[in-house]
Amino acid sequence: MSPEIVAHRGASTRRPEHTLAAYDLALRQGADGLECDVRLTKDGHLVCVHDRVIDRTSDGHGKVSDLTLAELRRHDFGAWHGGEPAPVLTLEALIGLAQDHGTRLFVETKHPVRYGAQVERTLAAVLNRHAVEAVVMSFSVFAVHRIKKLKPDVPTVLLYDRLWPRTLPRFVDYAGPGIHLLRRHPDRGQGVYTWTVNEPADIALCRDRGVRFLATDNPEETREHLAANLTPDQP
C-alpha cells in the first residue's frame, strides 16, 4: 500500500509553515494527515511554532516561552514566506481545522524546553477536550513515555535523527526515522513514520520499503510521484 501522506507543517514549500493557509492548501492537495510542532507560551497555551524563537518565521523577536499568547498575536507569521499576513497558530485552532475535515493530526512536542513535562500535560488536557484523531511524536524518549502514560489510547512516534535502534520501547507505537536513516538501513522501513521526504527518489524508496506515514513539505507533488510509480497490479 502507498504511504499515508502527512503535510509537514502544512504545504510548507508553497505557504508559510504553521499557518492555516499552509494547512488549507495541504488538505486541498489531498494530504492524509497534518503535522505540527508545538511549544508552550509563557501563559500556558500551545502554539504551532518550530523554533525556540520567533525570529525566522515572524516579524517579531524572542523566545516563545518568554511571550504570552497575546504578545505572539501582535506579530505576523505569514509575510516572511511571501504569504498573506497571518497570526500565530494555536494548536486548538489547528485541531478545529482537522476536525472539520476528519483529518488525523500528528503533533510533535519540542524538547528540551523551559517548561519540561508541562508540555505533554497541557497537550493531554487539550486532547481530552477535543475529539480529534491524533498521533503524538517527539525526539525525546521521556516526552513520548509521558504522553503514553497520560493518553494510553493515543499512538506515539519516537523520532530518530542520528541512530535508529532495532527495538522500540514498549510505549512507542511507531519508529520515526529521518529519510537519511532509511537510506542508510536497506533492511528497514516497514510500518514506520519517515520525515522529511521531498525528493522523487526518496518518495519511491518509502513506497518500496513499506513506510506507513510519509511526512513531506509538498503533499501534491508527493502524491503525483506515488501515483506515477504505481504498477497495474499495485493498489
Residues with a catalytic annotation lie at 8, 50
Hey, what amino acid is at 101? H
Nearest one of 81, 80, 35 to 61, comparing CA atoms: 80
Chain centroid to CA 83:
21
d(CA 108, CA 104): 13
Q: Cell match 476528519: residue?
A: 102
How many Å from the N-terminal Cα to the C-terminal Cα in the chain?
A: 6
d(CA 107, CA 155): 11
Segments of the chain assigned E as strands: 4-8, 33-40, 46-47, 104-109, 134-138, 156-160, 174-177, 193-194, 213-216
Is residue 229 within 8 Å of 208, Cβ to Cβ?
A: no
